[in-house]
Amino acid sequence: MQYSCFGQKMVQRSGIAELMDDLGRSMSGAGKMLMLGGGNPADIPEIQEIWRTEMRKLVGERDLFDGMLCHYDTPQGNPRFLEAVAGLFREVYGWPVGPDNVAVTNSSQTAYFMLLNTLAGDFADGSRKRILLPLSPEYIGYADQGLAPGFFAAGRPSIELRGDHEFKYHVDFDNLALGSDIGALCVSRPTNPTGNVLTDDEVRLLAQKAQAHDRYLFIDNAYGAPFPNIIFSDAKPFWDRNTVVTLSLSKLGLPGTRTGIVIASEPIIAALSSINAVVSLASGNIGQALAMPLIEDRRILSLSSDVIQPFYRRRLDAALQWAGEYFDSDLPWRLHTCEGALFLWLWCPGMPLSSRAFYERLKKKGVLVVPGCFFFYGLDEEWSHRDECIRINYSQPEEVVRPALRLIGEEMRAAYLNR
Ligand code: PLP
């Protein structure tokens, strides 16, 4: 079979696709593996019970049930859901948005495939534009989405060292090149993989730059406020007409519904609706139907801030305590300040082992993480830091995370001592 350029691009074995296969195979192998490699949200029984209750209500009411399953909605989403989302953001943040500023997609992953390729790639005038990631490392899920070659340009961050074992990335505005070859800017906030949350000032400056160049700034809010609110800093959500904010129901415990939400100016929403009509006809109704009552009566806010956020905060605090116990304090390791999302980002300066080799050694010991090198795409320059980090999902139960951190500590010591 001969693939088109599109086919080749989508079918090729990217590094991360191979790695995900490897993670999957390792989990289904004979030995018991400690899985700290995925991005799956944790099971939160109280939240899962709420979704079961909402589903029972839907099943019990004929009109609601038939409405959910028996017809296509508009390509933009269910009109009542769009108004519910717009109303929430108007009320909570005062954003001047209405239903024409909201679209629903089959997952935020799909939203990015459509958005990124609509504003970057090949243009009719023969030019080619790229997506600028102002702060690398960035979410691996964008890496293979661009249909044109050389799709991403990334900015190397400045690094603030904090105490002996902590650090934080910042956008290096002095070296941020927003030239005519840039079609849009994109950040995840909180950031997957680092747990970084761009400061309010950083976001304001990025938005100003985007506006000055008549470009859009995408802010991927998959973990942020007001839902699911897996965010531990007091950074404020941001939107203006040059900003596209995306949200997801996944980290609310509904990854199976594949529901993404986009808040943007009318032209972006109209473009997304057209593309969604071509690609999907309409988005799935189930996530919208399940979440709508909680958005309308604002329970989604209290559940996010009173249940989901404290749950992850407890898991994070426990993981940080175990890392402090098991990682040798004489070694130069550092963890990125975790301000949100599900991950600890471990940097081992000067470790004489690549992140991929460290991953392999950990896998042999029964611990699965993600090598950091995959998150630095779009960054052309040589930089040893990109091969000195690993991503660790801290959100699983103690019986998984604690022994895994102990083994990571042991392997880190062995690697530094060249054993
Ligand atoms: N954006 C970020 C930063 C993510 O971490 C993820 C998933 O883990 C997504 C987007 C995709 O989420 P969804 O399940 O809505 O496709």
In ligand 1, the atom with minimum distance to the C-alpha of 188 is: 3
Question: What is the pLDDT tens value at each position of the chain, 419 positions in all?
Answer: 999 999 998 888 777 777 777 777 777 776 789 999 888 899 999 999 999 999 999 999 999 999 999 999 999 999 999 999 999 999 999 999 999 999 999 999 999 999 999 999 999 999 999 999 999 999 999 999 999 999 999 989 999 999 999 999 999 999 998 999 999 999 999 999 999 999 999 999 999 999 999 999 999 999 999 999 999 999 999 999 999 999 999 999 999 999 999 999 999 999 999 999 999 999 999 999 999 999 999 999 999 999 999 999 999 999 999 999 999 999 999 999 999 999 999 999 999 999 999 999 999 999 999 999 999 999 988 999 999 999 999 999 999 999 999 999 999 999 999 87
CB 335 within 8 Å of CB 320: yes
Domains (ranges, CATH) in the chain? Answer: 5-47+303-417 (3.90.1150.10), 71-300 (3.40.640.10)
pLDDT digits (tens, 9 = 90+) for 285-312: 999 999 999 999 999 999 999 999 999 9
Phi first, then psi, for residue 129 (nearest 5°) are: -115, 155
pLDDT digits (tens, 9 = 90+) for 310-358: 999 999 999 999 999 999 999 999 999 999 999 999 999 999 999 999 9
Separation of CA 116 and ligand 1 centre (Å): 14
Among protein residues, the one with the nearest Cα to ligand 1's atom 5 is 192
Rounded to a whole number of angstroms, the distance between the first and last alpha carbons of the chain is 47
Among protein residues, the one with the nearest Cα to ligand 1's atom 14 is 250
Q: Give just the sign of the alpha carbon dihedral 355, 356, 357, 362.
A: positive
Among protein residues, the one with the nearest Cα to ligand 1's atom 1 is 222
Separation of CA 109 and ligand 1 centre (Å): 6
| Three-state secondary structure readout of 76-136 | CECHHHHHHHHHHHHHHHCCCCCHHHEEEECCHHHHHHHHHHHHCEECCCCCEEEEEECCC
Tokens 């209405």, located at residue: 98
In ligand 1, the atom with minimum distance to the C-alpha of 341 is: 5
**Which residues sit with their C-beta closer than 6 Å to ligand 1?**
39, 107-109, 139, 141, 188, 192, 220, 222, 248, 250, 255, 260
Pocket test for ligand 1, best of 246, 250, 280, 312 (most atoms within 8 A of CB): 250
Among protein residues, the one with the nearest Cα to ligand 1's atom 6 is 222
Tell me how far apart the alpha carbons of residues 214 and 198 are, in angstroms, rounded to a whole number. Answer: 21
CB 220 within 8 Å of CB 246: yes
Tell me how far apart the alpha carbons of residues 266 and 100 are, in angstroms, rounded to a whole number. Answer: 6
CB 294 within 8 Å of CB 303: yes
| Three-state secondary structure readout of 62-86 | HHHHHHHHCCCCECCECHHHHHHHH
Tell me how far apart the alpha carbons of residues 316 and 339 are, in angstroms, rounded to a whole number. Answer: 10
Among protein residues, the one with the nearest Cα to ligand 1's atom 7 is 39
